[in-house]
Amino acid sequence: MLTPEEENEAEVRREDQENINKFARLNAQLHEVRAEIDSLKKELERIDDASTEIMMADAGKVLLFMGGAFFETSEEEATTYCEDTVEKYQERIQSLETEESEILEKQDDLKQILYGRFGKSIQLEE
C-alpha cells in the first residue's frame, strides 16, 4: 500500500501501455529462453556422460538409441554422433544465451523509462 505522498498522478498514456506490454512480453520470453537453456544443458550432460562411457567401455560395438530402437554402431560412429550432437546443442545454448542478455538489456531500458514515469506506482520485477 502506498502512502498518498508516494502516489503517482501520472496518467498511463498509450505509449506507456505499449512499453508495459513490451516489458511483459520480454519477461515471458526470458522465462522461455531460460527454461530452454536449462533443458539443453541437461541433455548436454547426458550426452557427455555417454561419450565418457563409450571411451571407457572400449567395446568395439555399441547400441545407439535412436527414435525408439537401438542400432548397433561402431564405437567410432557413436563417438562422432555424440560429438555432432554436443556441437549442435552448444551452438543453440550460445545463441539462447545471447538472446537472454539482449532481453535483459531491453528490459533495463524499459525499466528506466517506466520507473522514471511512474515511480513506486509500478512494479517491474519477475
Q: For binding to another protein (CB under 8 A), which residues are involved? A: 11-14, 17, 20-21, 24-25, 28, 63, 66-72
Question: Which of 113, 94, 117, 98 is closest to 22 using CA atoms?
Answer: 113
In angstroms, give the least distance from the CB of 25 to another protein: 5
Question: Which of 90, 103, 122 is closest to 26 using CA atoms?
Answer: 103
The residue to which cell 538472446 is assigned:
99
Determine how many CB atoms are found less than 10 A away from the CB of residue 12: 13
In angstroms, give the least distance from the CB of 14 to another protein: 6
Kindly tell me which of 29 and 51 has the beta carbon lying closer to another protein.
Answer: 29
In angstroms, give the least distance from the CB of 94 to another protein: 19
